[in-house]
Amino acid sequence: MRISGLLICLFLLLPVCAKADIAVVAVERTVTVAAAATQQTRDAAIKQAVREAFGEVLKDAVQSLPQQPTTSQQGEFRKAMYAKMDSFVSESKVVSSKNVDGNQTELRVRTEVNKGLMMQELQRLMQAKRNPRVLFMVAEKCAAGSELTYWWGGGGKSSSLGIAENELFKIFNDKGFTCVDALGVARRAKVSDARRTALLDDSAALLFGQAGGAELVVVGKASADSLGALTGSQLRSIKADLSLRVLRIDTGETIASASGNSTAIDISPQAGSAKAFRGAAAEISDNIISQIMSEWQKNIDRVTVVEIDVSPITYVQLIELKNILTNSGCTRVTERRFENDRAQLSVELAGDAQHLANKIALQHTPHLPVKVTGVSQNMIKLAVKGQGI
C-alpha cells in the first residue's frame, strides 16, 4: 500500500464552500493498493489517506492561531483533535480509480474538513490552558480588632486589601492566574451601600466580579483571635481561621471551597495576626487551586460547538431565535451570516447537536414556530414554519 503526494491542482487546502463564514477545505490524495487487494485492505488505505489529509488541515489550522501553542501543547492538541476527527471531517470519498501496470490500483481520495470548527476547537483548547481571571473578596478581622474590615464597604470600612487577600493574590499570581485590581472594582461596581456588607450575598459578589471582568470571585472570611500569652512571656499565641468559596461569574455556581487555620507567635496581636493569616492562606491555597482547575477543565471539556443553518427566516425572527438558543442552554451564540432570509450561527453548549435539536423542537413559541429539518453530529438545519414551507 502506498500513498502519494497531494494531487490538488491549485492549492494544498482548497476551499469548497463557506458554511457560516467558515471555509470547508478539501484535500485529495492518491493511494495505491494491489489490484487483487481485499476490500478490507482498500478501506484501510482510504482511512489512512483521510487521516493524513486531516493532519494537513490541522497543521495549517494550528499555524493560523493568533497565539501559537507551545511544543508540548501542540502534542496534546493533536492527540485531542485526532480523537474527534470524525467531528471535523464532513465528507470523504473515492473520486477516481484506475488500474496501473495491471497489478496495482490507484485510488484518488477526496476529504472535506471543516477548518472553521477545527479552529474553534483549537481556540477552546487554548482557552483551557489559560488560568481564569480571579477577584478576591475576603473580609478580615485581626486579633486586636472587633469588626471585620473589607475593601468593598460602602462606609469606607477599608481602603486596601486585607493581609489574607494579599497573600492569596501573590500565591495565585505565582501560579499563573490573572488577579483583578480590587480597588478599581470597588469604584466601578454598581452595588448599593446597603448590599456592601462584610459577608455579602452571592449575587452582589457576582456584580463585583462582572465589574472587574473576572471569571471567578473568591469570597470568604479571615478571622484571628488571641489564644493568650505564653507562660512566663509577653509573647502571644494567635490563631487565624480562613474559609473560602469560589463562584463562577457566568453561572453563579460554587465550584470550590476550603477552610483552614494557622497559629503564629508574636508579642504584637497585629503582627501575630498577619503571620497567622499568611500561614492559613498558604495552607489552603493548593487545595482550592486544585479544585478550581479541576472544575474549570471539566467545563471546557463539556463544551460542544454546533453550527446552525436556518432558512427561511427574517431578521426579527433571528433575534428571537437567538433568545431561544440562549434559553436552551447555549453558553455562546454567534451570528456568522445573515443574507437573503438565511442565517448561519455558531453556538457553544454542554451537550450535543441532537440534544439541542430536541430542545428547539419542543419550544412552544407560536410567534416563531421553528421546525428542525436536519441534524448531524455538529450541524442543525432549521426553518421557520409559514416562511415558505
For the domain that residue 237 is a member of, what is the CATH number?
3.40.50
Q: Are residues 145 and 279 in the same domain?
A: yes
As for how many domains the chain has, the answer is 3
Q: Are residues 82 and 153 in the same domain?
A: no
| Residue 50 pLDDT | 94
**Contact 118/78 with Cβ under 8 angstroms?**
no
**Which residue, among 358, 312, 319, 354, has the nearest Cα to 335 in the 3D structure?**
319
| Residue 117 pLDDT | 83
Q: Are residues 368 and 283 in the same domain?
A: no
Q: Supply the DSSP symbol for 113.
A: E
Using the 3D structure, point to which of 85, 103, 128 is the last residue of a domain: 128
Q: Are residues 283 and 170 in the same domain?
A: yes
**Which residue, among 298, 299, 300, 308, has the nearest Cα to 328 in the 3D structure?**
308
Using the 3D structure, point to which of 300, 325, 343 is the last residue of a domain: 300
And the C-alpha cell for 329? 442552554
| Residue 105 pLDDT | 92
Q: Are residues 77 and 121 in the same domain?
A: yes
Using the 3D structure, point to which of 82, 100, 128 is the last residue of a domain: 128
| Integer Cα distance of 129 and 127 in angstroms | 5
And the C-alpha cell for 202? 452571592
**Which residue, among 93, 92, 101, 109, has the nearest Cα to 34 in the 3D structure?**
101
Q: Are residues 359 and 284 in the same domain?
A: no
Q: Are residues 181 and 318 in the same domain?
A: no
What is the C-alpha radius of gyration for the chain, rounded to an integer number of angstroms?
Answer: 29
Which residue(s) pair with 335 in the sheet?
Answer: 345
Q: Are residues 15 and 73 in the same domain?
A: yes
How far, rounded to the nearest angstrom, does the alpha carbon of residue 306 sit from its chain's CA centroid? 15
The answer to whether position 306 is within a domain reads no
Query: Is the link from the previous residue into 312 a cis peptide, with omega within 30 of 0?
Result: yes
| Integer Cα distance of 342 and 388 in angstroms | 12
And the C-alpha cell for 369? 414556530
Specify the 3-state DSSP secondary structure of 288: helix
65-104 residues labelled b (16+ CB within 10 A) or e (exposed): eeeebeeeeeeebeeebeeeeebbbbebeeeeeeeeeeeb
Pairing between β-strand 178-179 and β-strand 330-339 as defined by DSSP bridges = unpaired
Specify the 3-state DSSP secondary structure of 359: helix
Query: Is the link from the previous residue into 132 a cis peptide, with omega within 30 of 0?
Result: no
The answer to whether position 218 is within a domain reads yes
Q: Are residues 338 and 286 in the same domain?
A: no
And the C-alpha cell for 33? 493498493
The answer to whether position 288 is within a domain reads yes
Specify the 3-state DSSP secondary structure of 41: helix
Q: Are residues 208 and 183 in the same domain?
A: yes
| Residue 155 pLDDT | 47
Which residue(s) pair with 342 in the sheet?
Answer: 339
The pLDDT profile of the chain, 389 residues, written as one tens digit per residue, is 444 443 333 334 444 443 433 578 899 999 999 988 899 999 999 999 999 999 999 999 998 887 788 787 888 888 889 988 888 888 899 999 998 888 899 999 999 998 888 888 888 788 767 778 899 999 999 998 888 999 997 544 555 678 999 999 999 998 888 899 887 788 888 888 888 889 889 999 999 998 888 889 999 999 999 999 898 889 999 999 999 999 998 888 999 999 999 999 999 999 999 999 999 999 999 999 999 988 887 766 566 778 899 999 999 999 989 888 887 778 778 888 898 899 998 888 777 788 888 888 877 677 788 889 999 877 899 998 765 44
**Which residue, among 333, 283, 278, 285, has the nearest Cα to 305 in the 3D structure?**
333
Which residue(s) pair with 384 in the sheet?
Answer: 370
DSSP run (H or E) holding 239: strand 236-248
Find all residues with CB under 8 Å of 79, minimum gap 6, and list them. Answer: none
Q: Are residues 295 and 247 in the same domain?
A: yes
The answer to whether position 221 is within a domain reads yes
Pairing between β-strand 22-34 and β-strand 2-6 as defined by DSSP bridges = antiparallel
| Integer Cα distance of 234 and 228 in angstroms | 10
Boundaries of domain holding 350: 311-384
**CA distances (Å), origin 125, targets 66, 85, 117:** 13, 15, 12
Q: Supply the DSSP symbol for 11.
A: -
